[in-house]
């Protein structure tokens, strides 16, 4: 029997809109770099001066924390 042509066109349009909305969500994703800094320890405002376990980079650390590198530099994770 088949669908009338206007219904088919409407279904295709609806499917296209759903796919486009999914693509918009994917665009907002942030890629996490796959490298490790030489981190000695990490501190976070929520834990005060407590030295926390080191994380590879800011992608793996909570926002607002600071990575303290072995060479004395600090990296703030915004």
- Name every residue whose Cβ is closer than 8 Å to that of residue 5 and which is 6 or more positions away in sequence: none
pLDDT at residue 18, as a whole number: 78
Q: Identify the pLDDT of residue 9.
A: 81
Running DSSP on this structure, what letter comes out for residue 41? E
- In this prediction, residues 48-62 reach a mean pLDDT of 92
Q: What are phi and psi of 39, to 5 degrees?
A: -90, 130
pLDDT value of position 19: 74
pLDDT of residue 1: 54
pLDDT tens by residue, 10-51: 888 888 777 777 655 555 666 788 889 999 999 999 998 899
- Residue owning tokens 């219904």: 7
């Amino acid at each position: 029997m088949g669908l009338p042509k206007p219904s088919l066109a409407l279904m295709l349009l609806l499917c296209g809109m759903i796919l486009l909305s999914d693509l918009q969500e994917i665009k907002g994703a942030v890629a996490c770099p796959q490298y490790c800094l030489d981190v000695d320890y990490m501190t976070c405002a929520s834990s005060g001066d407590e030295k926390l376990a080191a994380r590879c980079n800011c992608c793996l650390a909570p926002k607002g924390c600071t990575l303290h590198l072995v060479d004395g530099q600090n990296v703030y994770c915004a």
